[in-house]
Amino acid sequence: MPDGPLIIQSDHTLLLEVDHAGYAEARNDLLGFAELVKSPEHVHTYRITPLSVWNARAAGMTADRMVEALEWHARFPPPGNVLRELREQAGRYGRLRLFKARDADFSEDLRLQVDTAELADQLSKTKGLDKHLTQRSTTDPTVFHLDPGARGHIKQALIKAGYPAEDYAGYTGGAPLDLRLRDTTVQHPDRPFALRPYQQDAVDAFTRGVVGHDDNAASEAGSGSGVIVLPCGAGKTVIGIAAMAAAGTATLILAPSTTAVRQWIAELLDKTTLEAHQVAEYSGSTKDIAEVTVATYQVLTSRKTKDADHSHLEVFDRKDWGLIVYDEVHLLPAPVFAVTATIQSRRRLGLTATLVREDGREEDVFALIGPKKADVPWKTLEGQGWIAKARCVEVRVAMPDDRLRDYHAADRRSMFRIASENPAKSEQVKRILKLHPGEPALVIGMYVDQLKALAADLDAPLIVGTTGQRKRDALFDAFRKGEIPVLVVSKVANFAVDLPDASLAVQVSGTFGSRQEEAQRLGRLLRPKAPKTGAAPESQQAAEANQAHFYSLVSRDTNEQEFALNRQLFLCEQGYQYRLVDAEQDDDVLRA
């Protein structure tokens, strides 16, 4: 492309000019194999990493396609080392293959096939792999005999060594489960129910090559294991349920909260032929097991003391599960990673709005849950009407002089809290609510004292971590029914809370620079505001109604501005842009 929007640097960073006419096309191409690093107003910075390239390869993108995208959008010829190293990383995917075979005595054997004897030699001497690659085939120097129980640990070690393995070793069938999707839901028997096209595509991508095969067969690497990446409101729960129906096996579902557990159970009973006795809750208050069991991450990782065992992890072995569903897989805690490494013979489905993990363990998700199987850009679904349109505004608020003095005298961590709890934000919250009368609104923050003061000031109910589950459920239900116009919530509402009518959010504070949290908070607003019946809405009226507003209040000239910039990275990658507005500007400018 002459005078393209992309400048490619020899350190694998990519500078993309936001105001260029070719920006949107270039961004969409880069999303397939590069990750966003920085997103100031005019130039976004991406980086090509091994993991971003391997996810692209697992999704079927070739090295040639990646190189063509770089060359087409580049303003200047790409550095040769970038293209060479991209091809090298892309070429590493597919060199190693895990599979199962039967020995002469008909016992099942897990094996690793390496494409050359030289690479096999190298890997057998690599720290972390040397303890696993001890038994080499006597007839084929490119094959290793492995301990089947170490399948997950080997995949972790291989990816850390820079050579991801394609897993063709297959899965156990699990206990059979007769689960079918309904043609109409229980809640709306007058409306037909069917998967949306992108939902069906995601299910097909996950199940392709497995369903209908023998228990230990898999005709495609990763079939029956992998991650579906879709925005909040796009129906990831429905995709999970459809994958369960396709697999037809007992399923353990892991979710981030009791609220999410109960939403899963309600969806299962509403949209499938399962009966109540076939679905169980395993949480802090209830610990039942059934053919389909929905458990919280918290209860699985709880223990009596810091040094005690995680006794509830036994739920992974309580039934013959054929499928494990990890809801909000980006939240997967370390103990669940550890047990997942030991259950690689079971199908695994991760669901998330973002693969970003604040602990940097994206490689473990790739190795243990599986590669990305489907990822539809948020803006694509917005354009088709499946999720609400969102306007994002960062409002920069001045701090009072006395607060500013405290800020400059504090250490860096305390500075962030002082800036986050800027009392001048309260008036801006009330102002924004007045600009959007009648819109169901969430006021979201991190610090409980700040939220208590806001709830009192707004005369609005408050939900924080100490709010009991029964009260939470009652308040969420009242908000859904329109009985509560404004709800003040802490980070407990970040994940898997279904508030479909919420169309306005005001964020007053957050967890430092968490990109994950920013995406989840915007996601509270993205559930479509117009009813869908299997086809995208076409009327102008429906399109106008399907609008959400997300305001983020940030203290001006403080480190909260720096953290806000980082928080916005993932959403900018998805095509959202934040308007920057000073609180002193008039209402017409402030209105999103």
Span 254-298, pLDDT tens digits: 998 888 899 999 999 999 999 999 999 999 889 999 999 999 998
Tens digits of per-residue pLDDT, 472-483?
889 988 998 889
Q: Across residues 197-208, what is the average pLDDT?
A: 92
Q: Across residues 59-85, what is the average pLDDT?
A: 96
Binning pLDDT at 50, 70 and 90, where does residue 212 land?
very low
Tens digits of per-residue pLDDT, 90-144?
999 999 999 988 765 546 789 999 999 999 999 999 999 999 999 999 999 999 9
Angle between helices 515-523 and 559-567 (to 10 degrees): 70
Tens digits of per-residue pLDDT, 380-402?
888 888 888 888 899 999 999 99
User: Could you tell me what percent of the chain has a pLDDT over 70?
Assistant: 92
Residue 449: CB atoms within 10 Å: 9
Q: Which residue has the tokens 């399907």?
A: 546
Tens digits of per-residue pLDDT, 343-385?
899 999 999 988 877 777 889 999 999 998 988 888 888 888 8
Please give the mean pLDDT across all residues of the chain.
87
27 or 542, greater pLDDT: 27
Residue 420 confidence (pLDDT): 94
From CA 367, how far away is CA 50, in angstroms rounded? 13
387 or 161, greater pLDDT: 161
Give which of 182, 465, 517, 493 is closest to 330, Cα–Cα. 517
What class does CATH assign to 197-376? alpha beta
Break the chain into its structural domains and give their ranges: 6-92, 96-167, 197-376, 381-590
96-167 CATH fold: Translation Initiation Factor Eif1 (3.30.780)
Beta strands (DSSP E) in 18-68 are: 35-38, 43-47
Is residue 532 predicted with pLDDT exceeding 60?
Answer: no
Q: Are 264 and 325 in contact (CB under 8 A)?
A: no
Q: Do 96-167 and 197-376 fold alike per CATH?
A: no
Residue 578 confidence (pLDDT): 84
Is residue 200 predicted with pLDDT exceeding 70?
Answer: yes
Residue 220 confidence (pLDDT): 53
Tens digits of per-residue pLDDT, 29-69?
998 899 888 777 688 899 999 999 999 998 889 999 999 99
pTM for the full predicted model: 0.83
User: Could you tell me what percent of the chain has a pLDDT over 90?
Assistant: 57
Residue 495 confidence (pLDDT): 64
Strand partners, 397: 555
Q: What are phi and psi of 166, to 5 degrees?
A: -80, 130
**CATH architecture, range 381-590:** 3-Layer(aba) Sandwich (3.40)
Give which of 243, 229, 230 is closest to 271, Cα–Cα. 243
